[in-house]
Amino acid sequence: MKLEAILERIHAERQRQADLPGSEWDAKNTPGEWVAIVNHYVSAEVRRNGMVPEADEFQDNLIKAAAVILAALENLDIMKGRGELQ
């Protein structure tokens, strides 16, 4: 998969996430909560009791994790303002 296509998928996923009901609460997440959300996605396919991960699902979860990382980056200043980051 080419970099441009990957970035397009991440951007589309970030937009999908932003359009979800409740996304307005993203700004309340702490750094630890962001890490937990990312970890949920990046580890989802490898937690299946030793089963070999499916490539498509693994890729989809990596795309979702990347979009969540973008959301966390978008909220860095808010977390700094709350004193959660220096």
Q: CA separation (Å) from 81 to 2, 28, 35?
A: 37, 11, 19
Domain boundaries, the chain: 3-81
The model scores a pTM over 0.85: yes
Say if CB 61 and CB 42 are below 8 A apart: yes
Cα distance between residue 17 and residue 86, in whole Å: 27
pLDDT (tens, 9 = 90+) of the chain, 86 residues, equals 899 999 999 999 999 999 999 998 999 999 999 999 999 999 988 777 778 888 999 999 999 999 999 999 999 999 999 999 99
Residue 86: CB partners within 8 Å, gap ≥ 6?
80
Apex CA 55: angle with CA 72 and CA 38, to 5°? Answer: 15
